[in-house]
Amino acid sequence: MKIELDLPDWVKERHIRIFAGIEEVAKKLQGQPWQVKKERCNYCGRCCMNLPDNWRHDVKMMDDKKVCKYLGKDGSKYVCTIDRPFFCCSGDHTTLDYCSVEWEKIE
| 58: β partners | none
What is the reported pLDDT for 84? Answer: 78
Residue 82, CB-side half-sphere exposure with 13 Å CA sphere: 10
Asked whether the beta carbons of 89 and 24 are under 8 A apart, the reply is: yes
Name residue 49's amino acid.
Answer: M
Residue-wise pLDDT for 36-60, tens only, equals 999 999 999 888 887 877 887 788 9
Q: Secondary structure of the chain: what % helix, strand, coil (to 5)?
A: 15, 35, 50
pLDDT at residue 72 in the model = 93
HEC per residue, 22-45: CEEEEEECCCCCEEEEEECCCCCC
The pTM is what? Answer: 0.79
What's the pLDDT at 105? Answer: 95
Give residue limits of the domains in the chain. Answer: 9-106
Tell me what the mean pLDDT of segment 89-104 comes to.
82
Question: Which tens digits make up the pLDDT trace of 57-86?
Answer: 788 988 888 899 999 999 999 999 987 777
